[in-house]
Copies of this chain bind each other. A is one copy, B any other.
């Protein structure tokens, strides 16, 4: 059963540079099927929210360049529920726009924000965590779902957990820690009491807007101006004019960090089989792996001999043949092929930078 007064917001941004050449400026990570699920990460996010929110209560926020593929991938997203940012301004304006519109529609609204491009393997655990988090929003808390770390990752943020807040699983979130050093990450994971921050946030829309007015008054005022014009013929013009002046900030650092210091943030621990699938090594790791040593992504045709630990992602329709290779990533697209050792997957970003520097924008 869906939750009354619950609204889901899916910010669909980010280019996924480290997933080049499958991910491109015009075809970002959230549009791709990186989990071999037969649907894109965006479609999986939509499906994961279906038991919790009516279709008419789901909002997707993205750039104009992605509107058509999003409508195509989410045919059940109602007209008017795709919010188009005139330009990327990071997550606080995007989520704030959804919050102000949802709040005007339903003053009792509870909303949750869930990135379009993350992987969640355990959908039942996700639904349970969201329902717990919705409960924890009742007292006006800003709530985050904190994920059990599976290792001392330095690429994620951490949240220090405090005391239980009531009968449920929610605890006080005492402090947000940005991407830590390897030593600190090890300490957080070994010592316990820290969870990963995956930017899954839930709150009463009114409570969030109240925090925004406190911490980001310029942003809050701009969003109010946009909302005032939303149902008029001035919507487009006002959105463009105001948006251009909004501060560029994200919810984590621009809102949650300070709110946590003031005791307004709760955290619901969860173990969701979550991954941000941010680079090809991660995609290889979360993939199933076939008996011939290859994990396949895409509809490509792959023949492997003497191959282990290798990911082949193919969208070109061509044959990819591997012989005697270990721990590689091969990504085959119609205009570019990448061959990368898995332990160099982070360097794919440098390749994209190199192509940009060389004036090869058509390939990135």
Which of chain A's residues 306-362 have a Cβ closer than 8 Å to chain B?
306, 318-325, 328, 330, 332, 334-341, 343-344, 347-348, 350-351, 354-355, 358, 360
- Tell me how many residues of A have a C-beta within 8 Å of chain B: 34
Give the shortest distance, in Å, between A182 (CB) and chain B (any CB): 20
Give the shortest distance, in Å, between A316 (CB) and chain B (any CB): 8
Asked if A344 meets B306 with Cβ closer than 8 Å, knowing A318-B337, A319-B363, A325-B339, the reply is yes
Chain B positions within 8 Å of A341 at CB level: 323-325
Chain B positions within 8 Å of A354 at CB level: 303, 305
Kindly supply a per-residue 1/0 record for chain A positions 230-251, scoring 1 wherever the CB is within 8 Å of any chain B CB and 0 otherwise: 0000000000000000000000
A323 touches B303 (CB 8 A): no
Copies of this chain held together in the complex: 2
A318 touches B336 (CB 8 A): yes
CB < 8 Å neighbour of A339 from B321, B335, B343: B321
Chain B positions within 8 Å of A334 at CB level: 318
Judged by a CB distance under 8 angstroms, whether A21 is at the interface is: yes
Kindly supply a per-residue 1/0 record for chain A positions 134-149, scoring 1 wherever the CB is within 8 Å of any chain B CB and 0 otherwise: 0000000000000000
A323 touches B336 (CB 8 A): no
> Complex formed: what's the CA distance from A358 to B302 in Å?
12
Residue of B nearest to A338 (CB): B321
Asked if A339 meets B330 with Cβ closer than 8 Å, knowing A305-B354, A321-B21, A354-B305, the reply is yes
B340 touches A323 (CB 8 A): yes
B320 touches A339 (CB 8 A): yes
Chain B positions within 8 Å of A336 at CB level: 318-321
Give the shortest distance, in Å, between A312 (CB) and chain B (any CB): 9
> Complex formed: what's the CA distance from A268 to B332 in Å?
49
Give the shortest distance, in Å, between A289 (CB) and chain B (any CB): 17
> Complex formed: what's the CA distance from A269 to B335 in Å?
49
A339 touches B318 (CB 8 A): no
Contacts A21-B319, A320-B337 known; 19 new A-B pairs at CB < 8 A: A303-B351, A303-B355, A305-B350, A306-B344, A318-B334, A318-B335, A319-B336, A319-B337, A321-B337, A321-B338, A321-B355, A323-B340, A323-B347, A324-B341, A324-B343, A324-B347, A328-B339, A330-B337, A339-B339
26 CB-based A-B contacts, threshold 8 Å: A21-B319, A21-B321, A303-B351, A303-B355, A303-B358, A305-B350, A305-B351, A305-B354, A306-B347, A318-B334, A319-B355, A319-B360, A320-B339, A321-B336, A321-B339, A323-B340, A323-B347, A324-B341, A324-B344, A324-B347, A325-B340, A325-B341, A325-B344, A328-B339, A330-B337, A339-B339
